[in-house]
Amino acid sequence: MCGICGIVNLKSAESVDKNTLLAMTQAMVHRGPDEQGIYHQPQVGLGSRRLSIIDLAGGQQPIANENETMWIVFNGEIYNYRELQIYLRKKGHVFRTQSDTEVILHLYEEFGLACVEHLNGIFAFAIWDGTRQELIISRDRMGIKPLYYTETATQFIFGSEMKVVLAHPAVQREIDLISLNEYLSFEYVPSPRTILRHIYRLEAGHTLRYSVKGVQLHPYWNVSFARSESRPPVNWREYGTAMYDTLKNAVQQELVSDVPVGVLLSGGLDSSTITALMVKLYAGKVDSFSIGFEEASFDESHYARLVAKHLGTNHHELILTGHLAADMVSTITDFLDEPFGDSSLIPTFLLSQFARKYVKVVLGGDGGDELFAGYPTLVAHKLIEYYERIVPWSMRAYLAPAILNLIPISFNNISFDFRVRRFLAGRGVPLQARHHRWLGSFIDDEKNLLFQDWLKPVLRDTYAQPYLHAHQCDAELPLNRILYNDMKMYLEGDILYKVDRASMAASLEVRVPFLNREVVRFATDLPLELKLRRLTGKYLLKKTMEPILPHEIIYRAKKGFNMPVAHWLTSKLRDLTLDMLAETSLKQHEFFNYAYIKRLLDEHFAHQRDNRKSLWTLLIFQLWYDKYMVRKA
């Protein structure tokens, strides 16, 4: 696992500046504290920071082919690299190392851009092809590893994080107003945009070629539900064994490492499934890691302890106090180079930091909800259809809002009033927009009050990106379309971004077996009824794991990995929030109307409304803006 960066100049006689390349490489030390390497020539510079996991002695980057006409820098792990290496040796390729990095380079020599089709792993890599005078960068199918890029008048610049690209002095910093609009609703900026104009995130399942002809994008893979919807109705038992074997093989593949491997265990079904399979396969006792909260409604650590005891792991637990989390909020932008409104980033970072004291690599349960329909929003889509069909219009229009106003406001985790308000916010809204309303923060009516008038004319439809994905999806069933959208947006833009930033800030590698190539293929081929059966999500996964995990773990209500933000905004974070959202702070950019923000603050502090999502989304943007956009004296 590493961080990578580079500069290519094919449009002028100016040489790539070595000091700039070193500054970019230094900006990602946290991604690879073990080693630094660069390749520098007049037209090209490649940089790497390495967190050594495989071939500890010989895997230093950048790595060249036999005659040094091609060079590679690589971030990630290739789980089938040993099998590929055997094939390549038989084809006559000579290896200098035992690393998976070198396998990719020789695979490119053999297959060109099609090399990515043979890789099972998590990756972002760059290859300089000196013979063809072109740069190739590529990202894995699901977007587990990040990659950013931009062009100046003469140079192409890329890096594992946006702050790495910003370390180049020629890169301009200008807010993309469309991205700002999307961030306020989704709590992240969907790919390929970023918060800054002209800096892009390479989309998952894409390869980019840069030459004197400029940038050429090549999609090489996409999610497909064609087989899922062409299969006849079946009994879950016909798929149960295959489900178990596919997951087991994925965990087996992702245990490949020359250093110890642990597991992140929340006590939910997904992480418990990965832990159970790892216990069966790992040579030695498994170290598991979980985090708990002081606030009772947010704390689920007892479930993790139950699973750890049931499976016999060597369990480690960190209890998150309000002061510990609140103290790091003001410094969150040290490793957060884009605005990101998912507050679970903080416990994810603290858990990663905690696990890093024991291991360099962990497995995690991310991806299970998106693949196997685990989110409560999918059930809610079904329920709201019944609600609008059965409940008379007059009751929906007048009685429901009146009753809603009588429900007491609670700041607890996924409280009753929070769920009801979210549910009713989706009434009468098209499917794609409704889904993101439930997951995200500001809706359009609220942004109309938030934004100053001068920027409103340039904003496009907030949900243009979800509608685009819906158009590109080959599924016919509405809920399969939602699963597709989640994989393209929420999974890549929120969940995987969060895990990458939080874990790499702690120099910890997180692997995600649910997003293994073979598991994704199995899951997308499954009939929808085996994912969501009536009102039961992850149906097949639950039935498969019944003989292995405790019943209360498999069938407990899903809460998610949330923080007590609503409470903290009125207490530990109150002063910081008031400072960052003060009228003087907002005048630094003049995007937002202070009067509306003051209303949100007053309502929240008086417990009249739960404005946690809106205020947190704004607070993080202000912290990011102050760090990356305000010129310091």
Provide DSSP, 578-596. Answer: HHHTSHHHHTTT--B-HHH
Of 2, 5, 115, 473, which one is the catalytic site residue? 2
* Position 402, amino acid: A
Q: Which residues contact 19 (CB under 8 A, 6 or more apart)?
A: none
The H-or-E segment that residue 163 falls in is: helix 162-166
The first and second tokens of residue 590, run together, are 């003049």
Dist. CA 633–CA 630, nearest whole Å: 9
Sheet with 214-219, strands from edge to edge, namely: 63-64, 70-78, 121-129, 134-139, 206-211, 214-219
Q: How far is CA 325 from the centre of its chain?
A: 21
Q: Which residues contact 430 (CB under 8 A, 6 or more apart)?
A: none
State the Cα torsion 122-126-127-133 to the nearest 10°: 150
Are 267 and 304 spatial neighbours (Cβ–Cβ below 8 Å)?
yes
The SS3 of residue 386 is helix
Are 108 and 117 spatial neighbours (Cβ–Cβ below 8 Å)?
no
Q: Where are the alpha helices (DSSP H) in 413-495?
A: 416-425, 431-439, 444-450, 464-472, 478-485
State the Cα torsion 276-485-472-218 to the nearest 10°: -60
Are 182 and 53 spatial neighbours (Cβ–Cβ below 8 Å)?
no
The first and second tokens of residue 609, run together, are 């409304």
Sheet with 261-264, strands from edge to edge, namely: 314-320, 287-293, 261-264, 361-363, 509-511
473 has catalytic annotation = no
3-state SS track over 83-132: HHHHHHHHCCCCCCCCCHHHHHHHHHHHHHHHHHHHCCEEEEEEEEECCC
State the catalytic residues. Answer: 2
